Amino acid sequence: MIVFDLQCEPMGHRFEGWFGSSTDYEDQCARGLVSCPTCGSADVTKAVMAPNLGRKGNQLPVATARPAVPPQAATNLPLPPEAVAMFKAVAAMQAEAIKSSTWVGEKFADDARAMHYGEKDAAAIHGKATLDEARELIEEGIQVAPLLVPVIPPEEAN
């Protein structure tokens, strides 16, 4: 996408236009598709605008009003109490839902598929699936959802 500052010639109204490319802008202007939103004039030209220059790769970003937090420090910041409470509530709801579900481990995709196609009795299950397996299940119309909190397999729980 490219953004141009535009101006209608009769009245001098300035406005912004978004186009796929410079060629798209020129093509739309030639066909009379670009018009001033204020007065409706199709006599529109590009207005003078400041170039958008990126900084060089060896330049530091411009300082912001608040001090920058180094990336390693950002991960060590404590969560607000509200966020901690929310995560605990989500984990408790998920744990309650899992109580009525069966762990199938690595066989999750196979078991979900077998249930969907009537080869196995339908039941609530949870387990492991790769991203590709999950995508394939969804493409087949099989309803799956990721667990929000990581689950420890029953044999690994202490």
Cβ(1)–Cβ(20) below 8 Å: yes
Is pLDDT above 60 for 74?
no
pLDDT at 52: 64
pLDDT at 107: 94
Q: Parse the chain into domains and list their residue ranges.
A: 2-46, 81-150
pLDDT at 73: 52
What average pLDDT does this structure show over 12-27?
Answer: 88
Neighbours of 41 (CB within 10 A): 14
pLDDT at 50: 67
Single pTM value for the model: 0.47
Mean pLDDT across the chain? 83
What average pLDDT does this structure show over 104-108?
Answer: 92
